Structure 1
Amino acid sequence: MEQLEYPDFKIWSERKQWFENELDKKQHPLANYLISDQASALLVELQACFCLGAFISAIIISVSIIDAQLRETESLDNKINTAELLKRFYSGNEIDWLRKLRNRYVHVNITQQSLSIDDQYNSRELMENNAKKSVNMVFQALFQSPGT
């Protein structure tokens, strides 16, 4: 299992470069952004998880980052539930896909298993692609309101 081994420097570097390139592409070079302090702190954790190949963790933390960003900079509401927050304040597409994927990983359904140990071996490419998509959704949330 790749994620349990000492990270391969080449793979780790490629993932780090991809992450940083995507981050740079999503920002307008002349804009200022209001970024949640908690979202910024969690972004470091997201990059570490992604680079190490902890893709499920990256997906789970992505929703936490988006929630922190939107709650602190867009809604200013601690009481709104996450599903409603994402629906009302996230300006990109497929946020419900990410929320539901995260929920399948976090909340077990005893009648319909969403994750097994086999997935750690047989679904790595899918997990990585889903993690990349979730990372880009985080960047969308962080940079959706330039000039704030």
Structure 2
Amino acid sequence: MITGLKFISSQTHSKRGQWIQRLLDDSLDKNSANLHDMNLTPHATALLGEAVNSFCGGNWVATIILVQAVLDVELATNEFLDGAYVNELRTGKNFVWLRNRRNRLLHADISIHSITEADIFDDDRNLEIEARKSLKLVITGLTRLTF
């Protein structure tokens, strides 16, 4: 039998979705904004949608990994971005944190503790905080590109 599956109540799922909606609305200064309002590339929009679904489902590690992928895709493929701002997104303290965190989650390194199934369950609250931070960084960071 598979163990470790998370049960998320519809109320919890809805509360998380409302948090993202407020974040998106505030970032775009628009009521009832959607991901397409961010004017990202289709690839980045699709990955961000998956990140949002992962977040609402309480899948924190997947959220962090997907959010960094959104940033990578958008910066690599959107030819209309301002170079100075792209540099800020790539080298800013919080964005470096996100990239490093994603790398620690994905890549095994004998000198650094790799994430385990036990870590995912024992550190759920901290992982949720990191997932929220990741989404906030990318949504607020990439919505600045629409202005």
Same fold by TM-score greater than 0.5: yes
Aligned residues: percent identity? 28
> Residues 5-84 of structure 1: matches in 2 within 5 Å?
5-29=6-30, 34-73=39-78
State the alpha-carbon separation in 2 of the partners of residues 105 and 33 from structure 1: 27
Structure 1 stretches (4+) deviating beyond 6 angstroms?
Answer: none
User: Does 1:122 find its partner at 2:127?
Assistant: no
> Residues 70 and 89 of structure 1 are in contact (CA less than 8 Å); yes or no, is this contact kept in structure 2?
no
Superposed CA offset, 1:31-70 (max 9, x none): x753211111111101110001110000000011011122
Structure 1 gaps of 5+ residues are 77-85
SS of structure 1 residue aligned to 2:146: coil
State whether residues 6 and 58 of structure 2, in contact with CA within 8 Å, keep that contact through their aligned partners in structure 1: no
Q: Larger relative contact order (C-alpha < 8 A, sep ≥ 6)?
A: 1
Superposed CA RMSD: 2.5
**1:87-143, CA deviations, whole angstroms, 9 ceiling, x for partnerless residues?**
725186511000000000010012321312221221111000000000011112321
**Aligned to 1:109, what secondary structure does the other structure show?**
coil
Residue pair 1:70, 1:141 contacting (<8 A) in 2 also: no
Could you say if the C-alpha distance between residues 39 and 19 of structure 1 is closer, same or farther in structure 2, counting changes exceeding 3 Å?
Answer: same
Gaps of 5+ in 2: 31-36
